[in-house]
Chain A
């Protein structure tokens, strides 16, 4: 009763009072529930809302923050970086910081960004390359939120933030729900890992793993707090399962790449440092659902494909290309200014990667038709003829040498004879030592 009396007395107090000016999240919520109802609703449904993590916990800026600005009585920043998230999610932020993902913004100095900027142009580099790789977020004191429009919005995975941190948690855990389930689904990775140059998403969809996932998605327990393969779910693995998540043998990590033994990205694949340890980790995940022989067999087959690509096509093509450059045969000075450079580029960057990724993740069509089949065709009937067209004796000599290799000698032999060698197994003997990893 007393309480009600007090309340009614307060009601009678002067009704117009200067509102509490101390920056409080409740004030943000009041307006943003109305002005950005979708954003607000996402937050409302998030684990953050459940645990009293509100606007200013992430967006509150400190005095001196370069991207801080005054907004309705609070000093805030639009950009939330892994350093901000790391205030609570410390371990995850550290893992992200040392991951290969976090370096994706710096990789833009490589050929990819050259392609976008020179043959393409800046307006494609921003929404194209930088949207996945992450761009350098620049400040603009004139902008209402102090961020340069050319560099914001950006949620690329290797974003270079003004506070020195690398990456963007929202690349996988979208604002403002920051769902674990979203990051566990293949679509999260599929924002970037897709397309002609690295169709991991398509390979996954083609694979038995992807098949099983889409069939049994409702059994995947995707939003669970704890998500241990074989314990909390068993229907299918997603990208996250194999590359990041917990299995009975190991803990979850945000440092992607810790389970990858080959690097399938460069022109010629190499074993990564500590590859045995990394492969053992991946095998540990596989072992949740597969027997040891099954897993060994998979790697045996995958190593064979990667070596086939490396030794039969990638290494010779690389040598020929290097000689063409060294001999000064390229007419235009600029990189990518000559047709043969594009042919060579697609050979390894598109077709060769497709084959390797297809084999690594059990996508047969990508391994052969989208992969080695195209490598073969373009190696013999585009790349070699284009190199020969220079009529340079040294280049021709190297090509002849390459084609003399027993792997390439089939070109000069009668079909019936080759078929006989296939049936007898003689032809296959050429590749017998490909099935094991080699540096």
Chain B
């Protein structure tokens, strides 16, 4: 009982004026609410990230603020009364409480205990806070409108189970500190609306890929070939599929065997380049380290001439790593045509619907007023069948509904009007279909001093097993002399199967 009376008096001693009182109220309510929220979260009643934002960010901050107000209040009180600390203490507490003992007076010991509790709380809260901020849900939803596009595409990506911070922050205190500093600037940008829409790709402050990507994907891991089948459907009534099948040479090569894609980062190989500008969409030059340590340089003959070097933007030389090609390994925005082709192939859009491909692509890529996209897609797609194919609309209503839902989902995933993200807002450097990609360097205009260029020959990186063909493995069969592309078939079959595939030079002679 005595302890509580001391505590009460102690409490009152802190609340000598409104500043002190505010401090006490803030500190106390913050700690109570924090404990409550933690209990509710443990029990599973609270799941919302925004509550986490309050619990782990606001409450510890308020707590700290209250703690700082208390001594300020005390100091003001002392100045107002003109008494010393000892006098003020003697006024409130019995002499025995203030009297010096081993390890200080009892009041002092109470203060020490309370301070320890505070530090403990702050430590726990801080740790929880940092932990919380490492959660993807924090990165993805704390700055909701800004991060939403990346959050949505991240969740749909192959790295959805990898935390944002694993790639974007990296290991160690230094990385964490940099990230928090950067985060503070982002908070300011968001608060005062200083950011670009869409947000430019942060290629310049990504963590080095050797520290991030290669934790899971190391170059020695890549070997053999990877089969990739690309389907393109015609705009005809049946949306007839045509296949292009590639056998990608994704190995990391070794020594002289360079003709494999991951050679660029394998072993001791080093490729470095100077881009034409900060977007890295075009190269000024590319260099390859030779066995003797010297570099062989290929200069872009189409780049602005070096004589105007004064106006060359200041861009750093960079050693090539994963993200130079895999620039959208995670935040993958789809191409509308790819969306339709894939959904046609997996049946989410049914090819029995006449002109399904044409109509789906038209609906998906229409230009709609902000906020009306998904509804307009439904009206457009359904409307077409109601108007032009009423029997289909009746007989295949379910398929039409499913196609509409599929298209709407794709639209929601890829189109983010608030951030000015429409179709293909960001280039994708993987391959050479959705941007210059590989051909930023593999271009006949990139030439060394002898005039030899970096090969841009197709079979350098992939064998071709079908090329816009009705058959997915067209070239595994011996070519048909009646086929106008017979010679291409002959070459590609041999290229893939190796010298063992008999190559009869007369195989394509007409009349055979």
Are B487 and A24 within 8 A (Cβ)? yes
Nearest B residue to A54 by beta-carbon distance?
A: B487
Knowing A20-B494, A26-B490, A26-B492 touch, does A10 contact B457 (C-beta < 8 A)? no
Are A52 and B510 within 8 A (Cβ)? yes
Are A34 and B490 within 8 A (Cβ)? no
A144: min CB distance to chain B, Å: 7
Is A349 engaged at the interface, CB distance under 8 Å to the other chain?
Answer: no
Are A20 and B487 within 8 A (Cβ)? no
Is B489 engaged at the interface, CB distance under 8 Å to the other chain?
Answer: yes
Which residues 36-69 in A have Cβ within 8 Å of B in the complex? 44, 49-52, 54
A258 to B459, CA, bound (A): 51
Are A11 and B497 within 8 A (Cβ)? yes
Nearest B residue to A46 by beta-carbon distance?
A: B484
Are B491 and A26 within 8 A (Cβ)? yes
Cross-interface CB contact of A14 among B476, B481, B498, cutoff 8 Å? B498
Are B467 and A33 within 8 A (Cβ)? yes
Knowing A30-B458, A30-B467, A30-B492 touch, does A51 contact B487 (C-beta < 8 A)? no
Chain B residues near A10: list those with CB within 8 A.
497-498, 500-501
Chain A residues near B455: list those with CB within 8 A.
72
B505: min CB distance to chain A, Å: 9
Chain B residues near A7: list those with CB within 8 A.
476, 497
Knowing A33-B467, A52-B487 touch, does A20 contact B509 (C-beta < 8 A)? no
Are B488 and A33 within 8 A (Cβ)? yes
Is A15 engaged at the interface, CB distance under 8 Å to the other chain?
Answer: yes
A151 to B186, CA, bound (A): 57
Chain A residues near B260: list those with CB within 8 A.
16
A27 to B495, CA, bound (A): 9
Is A31 engaged at the interface, CB distance under 8 Å to the other chain?
Answer: yes
Is B249 engaged at the interface, CB distance under 8 Å to the other chain?
Answer: yes
Cross-interface CB contact of A20 among B257, B467, B499, B508, cutoff 8 Å? B499
Cross-interface CB contact of A16 among B249, B458, B487, cutoff 8 Å? B249
Knowing A7-B476, A34-B458, A52-B510 touch, does A27 contact B491 (C-beta < 8 A)? yes
Are A30 and B488 within 8 A (Cβ)? yes
**Best-buried of B444, B456, B485 by chain A (most CB within 10 Å):** B485
Which residues 463-488 in B have Cβ within 8 Å of A in the complex? 464, 467-468, 476, 481, 484-488
A400 to B229, CA, bound (A): 88
A341: min CB distance to chain B, Å: 44
**Best-buried of A10, A19, A33 by chain B (most CB within 10 Å):** A19
Is B120 engaged at the interface, CB distance under 8 Å to the other chain?
Answer: no
B167: min CB distance to chain A, Å: 31
Is B224 engaged at the interface, CB distance under 8 Å to the other chain?
Answer: yes
A105: min CB distance to chain B, Å: 30
A19 to B510, CA, bound (A): 25
Are A31 and B257 within 8 A (Cβ)? no
Cross-interface CB contact of A26 among B224, B225, B489, cutoff 8 Å? B489
Is A25 engaged at the interface, CB distance under 8 Å to the other chain?
Answer: yes
B354: min CB distance to chain A, Å: 27
Is A5 engaged at the interface, CB distance under 8 Å to the other chain?
Answer: no
B220: min CB distance to chain A, Å: 16
Nearest A residue to B257 by beta-carbon distance?
A: A16
Chain A residues near B464: list those with CB within 8 A.
30
B502: min CB distance to chain A, Å: 10
Are B510 and A13 within 8 A (Cβ)? no
Task: Report, as a range, how many residues of chain A touch the other chain.
Answer: 20 to 34
Chain A residues near B508: list those with CB within 8 A.
52
Cross-interface CB contact of A44 among B456, B485, B497, cutoff 8 Å? B485
B474: min CB distance to chain A, Å: 13
Is B503 engaged at the interface, CB distance under 8 Å to the other chain?
Answer: yes
Is A29 engaged at the interface, CB distance under 8 Å to the other chain?
Answer: yes
B453: min CB distance to chain A, Å: 8
Is B259 engaged at the interface, CB distance under 8 Å to the other chain?
Answer: yes
Which residues 123-181 in B have Cβ within 8 Å of A in the complex? none
Is A409 engaged at the interface, CB distance under 8 Å to the other chain?
Answer: no
A24 to B486, CA, bound (A): 12
Is B241 engaged at the interface, CB distance under 8 Å to the other chain?
Answer: no
Chain B residues near A24: list those with CB within 8 A.
487, 490-491
A239: min CB distance to chain B, Å: 31
Cross-interface CB contact of B457 among A16, A20, A25, A72, cutoff 8 Å? A72
A15 to B251, CA, bound (A): 11
Which residues 379-433 in B have Cβ within 8 Å of A in the complex? none
Chain A residues near B484: list those with CB within 8 A.
44, 49-50
A26 to B490, CA, bound (A): 7
Chain A residues near B458: list those with CB within 8 A.
30-31, 34
A44: min CB distance to chain B, Å: 6
Which residues 228-252 in B have Cβ within 8 Å of A in the complex? 247, 249, 251
Nearest A residue to B484 by beta-carbon distance?
A: A49
Query: Mind listing 13 A-B residue pairs with CB under 8 Å?
Result: A7-B476, A13-B498, A16-B251, A20-B494, A25-B491, A27-B491, A29-B485, A30-B459, A30-B467, A31-B458, A33-B468, A44-B485, A52-B486
Residues on A facing B (Cβ under 8 Å): 7, 10-11, 13-17, 19-20, 24-27, 29-31, 33-34, 44, 49-52, 54, 72, 144
5 cross-chain pairs, A with B, having the tightest CB-CB distances, nearest first: A26-B491, A17-B498, A29-B488, A49-B484, A26-B487
